[in-house]
Chain A
């Protein structure tokens, strides 16, 4: 399949301070995408910025996909100035996707800030294939960092809010809520957000013997596995340490394969 697409921007709205949603028209991308995969966006025609920007797929429609992003540097700043009706070169879909194993009856999603980006598509898929609405913990610095809450409630998800300053939901961290949740039985956890949060979610999941999948973020150059720039220390082959490519072996990893002791805070 062709992975390079000139996509029409059919929607581009601010959803919170510094956060935007963009809908990209492409039946080809939509038809081949799975929740958890990402796209590489060409931000400008020139050499500034030089590299594409990796973006999680937020939702998959019949004729396109959406992305949800935070302006955090020069690339996303330029991206945020593009208008509906303009075209943008998109590479993808890339990377692996969230596994949805059958033997788990409970699905729990833990999103920190813009880490929520890949989850609306995952919720839709779990609803479709398992008929269950996942429970969700939405965590952020303050109320402006809690995105997609309405979408999740509309999809029937029980949603817990938590902010560091207490401006929405409980005051605290995602893991504070996770520890309090009264869940028993085989549970699968999906998480994405700041690395310290993922690491702590992973520790709790280990204690409870829950399977945990994390979507990792990394600075990327190629998105296709050739540059080896986005690697994370992992133990994917039996007894064999490797530098796993976030763009190719990931971005979704079973958190047990990540060599957390080799990753700095």
Chain B
């Protein structure tokens, strides 16, 4: 039986609905030693900024029950080094590339997006409006994220939308009362897709030293621990907006991916679990195909949002 696994975000077609979460796959080189990375629906690269960033002072990670906290702080090579040293490899592998970008102002997001489009550096852009680790928690316990203000989400999205033609995805934060509000704003701003969720803010304390385990004090929680939260937000958002949802948050297995798709995700991303099993995305692609065959589905799109609520 032939199964169609192709899905679309705006005018971008992915050969299958499986990608990786930004920041868990570098720029593709490392895990290309484990599998043919062009088999992924898309490679989503680590957040890019205009200038290279050193990131936060270590310790940056701590393991937690069924997951981990991270406060990397957007360490990255910067857009120019990406285009010069990282992009050629991804293109040579024939990958579909989603470039995640982070700016400190609307102008920076626009510059990054225009630069990427001009240089052919991406097949789609994911705007990271929700990084929890770029503020100093010691001085500022309230860390405002763009994604926490529906008004700003719309402004940022529409500014980038009007400057580039590339498919545009907006990545939102779960650290908010009602995630459907910024989701609707992103849609109004012209986004082609919404990525949910970024990490949940959390912390962990060393009881011997009575100090936070992360130097940054707080960090973003990921892994299977957050999966039910992510799934619920995917369900909420996908019934609220018309554009595709890219679901992520603790996906480890085919069954996890199916839950997200049934809840309404058009695309799913594997994140932290890659650290445990680099082959997880490949297993999931095969697993989705097998599921469709055994359930007599010839198109995975028919499974998207197929949840029945009695």
Chain A residues in the interface with B (C-beta under 8 A): 3-4, 42, 47-52, 75, 91, 218-233, 241-243, 248, 262
Q: CA of A18 to CA of B62 in the docked complex: distance in angstroms?
A: 23
Partner of B31 from A42, A50, A224 at Cβ < 8 Å: A224
Known: A226-B25, A242-B54. A221 touches B30 (CB 8 A): no
Among A42, A218, A231, the residue within 8 A (CB) of B276 is A42
Can you give 30 A-B contacts (C-beta < 8 A)? A4-B279, A42-B276, A47-B223, A47-B225, A48-B65, A48-B66, A49-B63, A50-B63, A50-B68, A51-B63, A51-B68, A51-B275, A51-B276, A52-B275, A218-B58, A221-B68, A221-B272, A221-B275, A222-B24, A222-B30, A224-B278, A225-B30, A226-B31, A227-B70, A228-B23, A229-B72, A230-B58, A231-B58, A233-B57, A243-B55
Cβ of B305 under 8 Å from chain A = no
With A47-B67, A224-B30 already in contact, 4 other A-B pairs whose C-beta atoms are closer than 8 Å: A222-B275, A226-B25, A228-B23, A229-B58
Which single residue of chain A is at the shortest CB-CB distance from B64? A50
Proximity bits, B31-49, A CB within 8 Å = 1, else 0: 1011000000000001000
For the A-B complex, the count of residue pairs with Cβ-Cβ distances under 8 Å equals 97
B interface secondary structure, majority: loop
User: Mask for B73-113, Cβ within 8 A of A = 1, else 0?
Assistant: 00100000000000000000000000000000000000000
In contact, A227 and B63 (Cβ under 8 angstroms): no
In the assembly, what is the distance between CA of A225 and CA of B75, in Å?
12
CA distance A231 to B215 in the complex (A): 13
User: Residue of A at shortest CB range from B250?
Assistant: A47
Q: Residues of B contacting A50 with CB < 8 Å? A: 63-68, 223-224, 272, 276
Minimum-distance CB pairs A-B, first 4: A229-B61, A222-B275, A226-B26, A47-B66
Set of chain B residues within 8 Å of A91, measured between Cβ atoms: 278
Residue B274, interface by CB 8 Å: yes
Residue B59 CB within 8 A of the other chain = yes
B171 on the A face (CB < 8 A): no
Tell me, yes or no, whether B60 is within 8 Å of chain A by CB. yes
* Cβ contact within 8 Å between B75 and A243: yes
